Amino acid sequence: MADVPTTTTDARRRVTELIRDARICMLTTTGVDGRLVSRPMGLQEAEFDGDLWFFAYADSAKVRQIRVNPEVNVGFSDPRRHAWVSVSGTAQEAYHRARAEELWHPVLRAWFPDGLDTPGLTLLRVHAGAAEYWDSPGGTVVNLLGVARAAVTGQPPRAGENHEVSY
């Protein structure tokens, strides 16, 4: 845990930076049998204002699960920077052609071959309720030194910054 207090604005800014750097995440939904189900997703908008956007097929399992239970978690990991973000919120289908045009990127054709005209294409919007992040800005060498110091002193290593923020 960090000893230095941070403002909500600072924490939100840092969440946005970490999400922007990671871009790929794990979207976790609840299956109809109650199991938690995670799958990788590509974030479609790097500016995080409390909503995360994803393209999906309307008949996919994740969309069906969200229709039954909209509570989700979106986890981001950036191992190069030793940073992680967990966003909990509610998801819903939110397809609007104009919004889809704003978010579309040509690389998405790999999954949606007809582009924005792909049958069954939809957008998922995850509205964040809260986010938590863990950030070790010192890098690998500093983290390894911290682990080594902990092994010698018997004190747990300093894990970097950890903050929660509500939206």
Per-residue pLDDT of 111-142, as tens digits, reads 999 999 999 999 999 999 999 999 876 544 33
In terms of pTM, does the model score above 0.95?
A: no
Amino acid at 141: V
Which domains are present in the chain?
8-166 (2.30.110.10)
Query: Looking at residue 144, what is its pLDDT?
Result: 40
Cβ contact 94:123 at 8 Å: yes
Report residue 74's pLDDT band, with 50, 70 and 90 as the boundaries. Answer: very high
Distance in angstroms (rounded) separating the CA atoms of residues 51 and 90: 10
Q: Is the pLDDT reported for residue 104 higher than 90?
A: yes
Measured CA to CA in angstroms, residue 85 lies from 25, 105, 140, 149, 158 at distances of 9, 24, 18, 26, 18
Q: Exposed/middle/buried for 158, CB within 10 Å: 0-12, 13-18, 19+?
A: middle
Per-residue pLDDT reduced to its tens digit, 23-41: 899 999 999 899 999 999 9
Of the candidate ranges 45-49, 55-59, 132-136, the one whose mean pLDDT is the lowest: 45-49
